[in-house]
């Protein structure tokens, strides 16, 4: 079964949203997980905007990178420069991609403005996972 790993700094927003979309879009034929270089806890705004897409990530937990899962993955996707730069070395068999996404946890402004940034990042992640699924199915 193919395996994908989404990595970001704290495993609180972007990688959690990517995991949620990948589980829904790629389906049960893929093993999907996410992790961080550090653990920052699950961001409640990420939970809120994913619920708007009928994806429940409220029971997810912020996790550190598991080296055995990392090294046995078919594809590792980093979602921020920090994760890309600090990701442990992987075997040549592991394909790596980098999706440079804004960190919604750094958004400032009113609650509505912050949620809008989370929605923008969420929608970009959804489109990237849809594109990934398309490219997998075209192989």
Give the active site residue among 4, 8, 32, 83. Answer: 8
CB atoms within 10 A of CB 12: 24
> For this structure, is 13 an active site residue?
no
Out of 87, 107, 114, 136, the active site residue is 87
Is 87 noted as a catalytic residue in this protein?
Answer: yes
**DSSP string for residues in 40-82:** ----HHHHHHHHTTT---TT----B--HHHHHT-SEEEE-SHH
Among residues 18, 37, 47, 80, the one annotated as catalytic is 80
Token pair, residue 134, equals: 């398309």
Active-site positions read 8, 80, 87
């Amino acid at each position: 079964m193919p395996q994908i790993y989404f990595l970001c700094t704290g495993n609180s927003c972007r990688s959690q949203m990517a995991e949620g979309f990948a589980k829904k879009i790629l389906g049960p034929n893929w093993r999907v997980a996410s992790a961080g270089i550090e653990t920052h806890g699950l961001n409640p705004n990420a939970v809120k905007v994913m619920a708007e897409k009928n994806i429940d990530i409220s029971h997810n937990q912020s996790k550190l990178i598991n080296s055995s899962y990392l090294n046995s993955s078919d594809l590792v996707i980093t979602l921020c420069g920090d994760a890309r730069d600090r990701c442990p070395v992987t075997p040549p068999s592991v394909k790596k991609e980098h999706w440079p996404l804004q960190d919604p946890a750094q958004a400032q402004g009113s609650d509505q403005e912050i949620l809008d940034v989370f929605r923008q990042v969420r929608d970009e992640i959804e489109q990237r996972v849809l594109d990934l699924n398309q490219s997998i199915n075209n192989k």
